[in-house]
């Protein structure tokens, strides 16, 4: 049975002067690093909104204050017994 509350994930495609900021991270142990967007999980104890989550993650992961320019897309998916929503934003 699925949990009632979805896990909310956010990511930011950060663009400045026609350049895109990506981070290189190891997603799985003993695997090569991969390029990725800044991303994170909504935490109700820390964040008042999903935009607060995105801004917090950008400060934590790449030490940047960003402006959120718009929503790119929303992805709904199931991961084992969890429902996840991922909101992908364009940032500058």
Its domain, for residue 13, covers 7-91
pLDDT at 2: 52
Do the domain assignments include residue 61?
Answer: yes
| Model pLDDT for residues 41-79, shown as the tens digit of each residue | 999 999 999 999 999 999 999 999 999 999 999 999 987
Do the domain assignments include residue 1?
Answer: no
How far is Cα 69 from Cα 34, in angstroms, rounded to an integer?
Answer: 26
DSSP 55-74: HHHHHHHH-----EEEEEEE
- Secondary structure (3-state) at 33: coil
User: What total number of domains does the chain contain?
Assistant: 1
């Amino acid at each position: 049975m699925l949990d009632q509350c979805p896990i909310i994930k956010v990511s930011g495609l950060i663009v400045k002067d026609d350049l895109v900021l990506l981070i290189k991270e190891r997603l799985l142990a003993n695997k090569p690093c991969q390029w990725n967007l800044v991303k994170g999980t909504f935490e109700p104890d820390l964040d008042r909104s999903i935009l607060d989550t995105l801004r917090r993650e950008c400060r934590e992961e790449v030490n940047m204050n960003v402006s959120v320019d718009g929503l790119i897309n929303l992805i709904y998916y199931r991961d084992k017994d969890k429902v996840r929503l991922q909101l992908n934003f364009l940032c500058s």
